[in-house]
Copies of this chain bind each other. A is one copy, B any other.
Amino acid sequence: MAAGAESGSGRGAGSAPSTPLATPMSAMSTTTPMSARSVRWERDVEEGCGGLERPLLLRRGTNTTSQMAVVGANVCPIESLDYEIVENDVYKQDWRSRGKIQIFHYQVLKWVLALLVGSVVGLIGFFSNIAVENIAGFKLLLTSNLMLQNRYKVAFLWYISCNAVLAAAAAALCTYIGPAAAGSGIPEVKAYLNGVDAPSILASTTLSVKIVGSIFGVSAGFVLGKEGPMVHIGACVASLLGQGGSRKYGFTWNWLRYFKNDLDRRDLITCGAAAGVAGAFRAPVGGVLFALEEATSWWRNALLWRTFSTTAVVAMVLRSLIEYCRSGNCGLFGKGGLIMFDVSSQVTSYTAMDLPAVVLLAVLGGLLGALFNFLLDQILRVYSHINEKGAPYKIVLTVAISLVTSCCSFGLPWLTACTPCPPELAASGRCPTIGRSGNFKNFRCPPGHYNAMASLFLNTNDDAIRNLFSGGTDSEFGVPMLLAFFAAVYSLGLVTYGVAVPAGLFIPVILSGASFGRLLGALTGLDTGLFALLGAASFLGGTMRMTVSVCVILLELTNDLLLLPLIMLVLLISKTVADYFNKGVYEQIVRMKGLPYLEVHGEPCMRSLVASDVVSGPLITFSSVEPSSASAPSWTRCGERDTTGSR
């Protein structure tokens, strides 16, 4: 059995808080018979978790569960999950007592659930994409039409109020219904998969708020992405499917009881996170690698294979739905393919002469990425003071940022002069484009002219990235314009992340990286489309510090394998440079949220720590046979409960 055979122990992120309790707990579970334990569970559930005299390691208390106990989420704010199998007598007896049918049932169910997670996440990813394209498309189309009628003030008012209303709605949802849904969600999922459970991050309310809030947030024109939220959505879907719906709403199935333990739930949530990435970027292999690289330190090959199957289902669902939309049944969704930013049609060639510029780009990208992490940290600290004051403050902050963003995206094109169209494109009617997408946006420009800034800013983020990556358009965006856009996007990305909407970091980072790269390409006179792509890679390496998964995601986004050596080089350099200054952005946020996530590399001081440094006495021990009627010490109660309802 897969679950039974696992003996890997990974980094053991969750072990730290449970260290003082671990030994007595496992000693107890070795000797207490199953039935006695379940009796005590039920009693404990009724009693609640009061009167704790247990030693406090963390600010808000800690907890430990064995892999057979089901995690309670209501009472203790942060829990430590134990993914290690304690192969004691009880465990072995439990496995031996199971019939062949039960084991077959478990195996089949494991696979059915993984594939179900893939389909559901694929559907959610696709429909949230359609919703965004239609809401944002309608907003931009109406703005554009009003401007064509020279009703500029009305257009601006419509645009800014549309954005503000969408932002306020998203913020209200996140504030009043699902506070855990704000932000990216990747840090929480990362912490969960490494053994740290925060309250209600995988609840059904969080899931619904995350979906709706993310659609509203992206449609509101914020400089944020839906990729991080999709990872969180995938994890939520997996968690809810694994426990057979939400117990809080009386919606649960008994035959899913095998999955009500930390280990199987963790496996399923790993699949969910991978499916999220696959659904967001349409990058199934990237999703598997993301789950492997960023999210989980407890890895084994069986999980690789299951994760791969899940993302394969996502890819197939997306492929067939996109094929269906090609016939124009999905409103403004457009006719995009499985590749989001396809650059394979461009002939990008590079020689050894380009190498110094590429290295320079990578170094600068690493520096700016590290600076991004530093500034984000500072800004989040300021925001946390504002957000702590109460729900209305959160909404006001969100609307304020929305207003600033709207002013930027409408005002900067206003300040930019019109550019004459390239003659060959003007003749073929491809410039200016009067409508929603296209490289050359008409924005109060005379016929035959286009507004370069509007092509990037008064657009969905996806279209802006597509424009930046496009090759053969070296003269389309001038240097001052790119500089202004880069500065605006970099700052807006920084100030947007902390507001109370579901906000991914991938898109802002790619957007600012691509504009920076294109700027450098324009300055050095090299291929701007290529440099935009490499700039995005350098910023991703500089902020996220992932390598293999970012590399594969970029390949799956752009479909140009010939650039692989260059992308790898850029990632290598930018990560190395940025690692010199600070940690990856997700690790920073995990730390800021107070989740007790253990680093890959321990601090040097930890080498000499002994148990007495982190626990306070008196030590409570169990005798090797403990009478089941004896009341357990009160601090063990919290660890063994059965209230998964809220998740």
Contact = CB atoms under 8 A, between A and B. Distances in A.
A572 B293 contact: no
A571 B288 CA distance: 15
A494 interface: no
Given A548-B285, A601-B1, A565 B312 contact: yes
A611 to B, nearest CB: 14
Interface in A126-170: none
Interface in A103-130: none
Interface stretch (A296-304, A442-450, A495-503): A296-304
Contacts of A11: 7-8, 300
Contacts of A607: 4, 92, 95-96
Nearest to A299: B299
A15 to B, nearest CB: 9
Interface centre among A556, A564, A568 (most CB of B within 10 A): A564
Interface in A1-24: 1-2, 4-5, 7-12
A304 B601 CA distance: 15
A339 interface: yes
Interface string A297-329: 101111011001101100110111001000000
Contact of A293 (B12, B301, B337, B552): B301
A308 B7 contact: no
Nearest to A296: B301
B308 A548 contact: yes
Interface string A576-619: 00000000000000000000000011100001100000000000
Contact of A297 (B301, B311, B318, B555): B301
Given A285-B564, A316-B569, A564-B285, A5 B548 contact: no
Contacts of A4: 602, 607
A319 B600 contact: no
A551 interface: yes
A597 to B, nearest CB: 13
B572 A302 contact: no
A344 interface: yes
B572 A309 contact: yes
A323 B353 CA distance: 13
A319 B95 CA distance: 53
Interface string A316-353: 10111001000000000000011100001000000110
A487 interface: no
Contacts of A1: 601
Contacts of A338: 561-562, 564-565
A305 B547 contact: yes
B565 A301 contact: no
A572 B312 contact: yes
A561 B572 contact: no
Nearest to A309: B572
A647 B305 CA distance: 34
Contact of A548 (B12, B288, B297): B288
A200 B36 CA distance: 56
A285 B552 contact: yes
Contacts of A311: 568
B316 A565 contact: yes
Interface of A, secondary structure class, is helix
A561 B555 contact: yes
A32 interface: no
Contacts of A299: 299
Contacts of A305: 547-548, 575
Contacts of A297: 8, 300-301
Contacts of A508: none
A213 to B, nearest CB: 29
Nearest to A606: B5
B561 A284 contact: no
A559 interface: yes
B565 A315 contact: yes
A539 B517 CA distance: 42
Given A556-B561, A607-B92, A568 B284 contact: yes
A80 to B, nearest CB: 16
Contacts of A300: 11, 297, 600
Contacts of A352: 320
A107 B305 CA distance: 33
Contacts of A96: 607
A88 to B, nearest CB: 13
Given A1-B601, A297-B301, A299-B299, A337 B562 contact: yes
A7 B12 contact: yes
A641 to B, nearest CB: 29
A7 B14 CA distance: 13
Given A8-B10, A305-B547, 19 more contacts: A4-B602, A5-B601, A5-B602, A8-B297, A11-B300, A92-B608, A284-B568, A285-B555, A304-B548, A305-B548, A305-B575, A308-B568, A308-B572, A337-B562, A338-B565, A339-B561, A339-B562, A552-B552, A556-B564
The 7 closest A-B pairs by CB, nearest first: A312-B568, A315-B565, A319-B565, A5-B601, A559-B561, A316-B565, A9-B9
11 contacts: A5-B601, A8-B8, A92-B608, A284-B564, A284-B565, A292-B304, A293-B304, A305-B547, A312-B565, A316-B565, A320-B352
Interface of A: 1-2, 4-5, 7-12, 92, 95-96, 284-285, 288-289, 292-293, 297, 299-302, 304-305, 308-309, 311-312, 315-316, 318-320, 323, 337-339, 344, 351-352, 547-548, 551-552, 555-556, 559, 561-562, 564-565, 568-569, 571-572, 575, 600-602, 607-608
